[in-house]
Structure 1
């Protein structure tokens, strides 16, 4: 009849079925639920370990500057002969209490920095440990005060040795004791470098915490 429509069924052959991939693959075991793979957290504390390594480098530099200041000031001694060998002018660091305190304070600072290196090594091995950092930051701050006081007191004496004080009738002695003034000035500069290094160490400890 003309009004009837003829439906044609096309069956897939086995070869065509083999060529098609399933849209949703079912994992073995029959379960279609996806399992979340645990992601390992990225290792933290890498920058803290780097700061600890830089901390050791700065402590070694601080040992060099503080020890250099101690040796330079402690070996300062100059004698000027006049007329005879029995009448002499002598300048030595132990003639001035400020210079003696300078030698003691910088020796203490150098010794402390040497003793603090093992604690800094612990911070490299355990970058997340807070107690060693707090301990180092506390003693570094104490050493800043001690070294600054010693360097400031010695700097005032060195200034008077170079320029004198006309109001107090104190003449400048560096024209006669040139070697003495050069050594004391270099020692004061090295001590202030130790102060700067200690300040940087305190900043590093605060960042690590």
Structure 2
């Protein structure tokens, strides 16, 4: 008669103990993987891999832009032609340094080439440590400055190339490419190479912006 309350109380205590043990085991089994899985989650690993792929494309664009800028500098810097005449006392010479825009073109593209070559190690650092935002931020700042130099040089020289090929009848500016055809071909090639460098610099800025967006 007195055994039934004791038995009921013992059964209730046993049930509460099982509930506490179950809750404790569930907390331990649930929270521990959650804390350990934050750092090694598939989403985090996918983000790092995406940053590394963007950094690799940045390096490819950077080397290609440096090659295009160097090609433009060499072509424009070697643009020179002398018209053949019967006498050495009377000669007409066309050279890139006769035009201020062409001189600025050579200087600006030389600076852009030098910067792109020096920035390659920083791009490699971004590949090795894609989670670090400092080098990427420095690259995007200096890439913007380089883009401004390259775009201004290409635009000003493109205007001169257009006038050299077509002239301007309203201003009585005659075309010079009919006489200096080789000279015009070289400066035109330099402008085309500079425009390719500008396009690659735009891709550099886009990839840097994507990398910073992924980082944030």
TM-score under structure 1 normalisation? 0.82
Distance 1:108 1:45 in 2: 33
Query: What residue in structure 2 maps to residue 109 of structure 1?
Result: 112
Distance 2:124 2:207 in 1: 14
Tell me the number of residue pairs that the alignment of Structure 1 and Structure 2 aligns: 179
| Match runs of 1:86-97 below 5 Å | 86-97=89-100
Query: What residue in structure 2 maps to residue 41 of structure 1?
Result: 41
Say which one has the larger Rg: 1
User: In angstroms, what is the RMSD of aligned CA positions?
Assistant: 1.4
Distance 2:112 2:183 in 1: 23
Query: What residue in structure 2 maps to residue 16 of structure 1?
Result: none
Residue 132 (1) aligns with residue 114 (2): no
What stretches of structure 2 of length at least 5 have no aligned partner?
1-20
What stretches of structure 1 of length at least 5 have no aligned partner?
1-30
Kept in 2: contact 1:70–1:102 (CA 8 A) = yes
Distance 1:83 1:172 in 2: 23
Tell me the secondary structure at the aligned position of residue 54 of structure 1: helix
| Match runs of 1:54-93 below 5 Å | 54-93=57-96
Distance 1:45 1:126 in 2: 9
Residue 52 (1) aligns with residue 49 (2): no
Query: What residue in structure 2 maps to residue 17 of structure 1?
Result: none
Residue 155 (1) aligns with residue 171 (2): no
Distance 2:133 2:66 in 1: 24
Whichever structure has more helix as a proportion of its residues is: 2
Kept in 2: contact 1:109–1:143 (CA 8 A) = yes
Query: What residue in structure 2 maps to residue 174 of structure 1?
Result: 177
Query: What residue in structure 1 maps to residue 6 of structure 2?
Result: none
Tell me the secondary structure at the aligned position of residue 81 of structure 1: coil
Tell me the secondary structure at the aligned position of residue 179 of structure 2: coil
Kept in 2: contact 1:81–1:87 (CA 8 A) = no
TM-score under structure 2 normalisation? 0.79
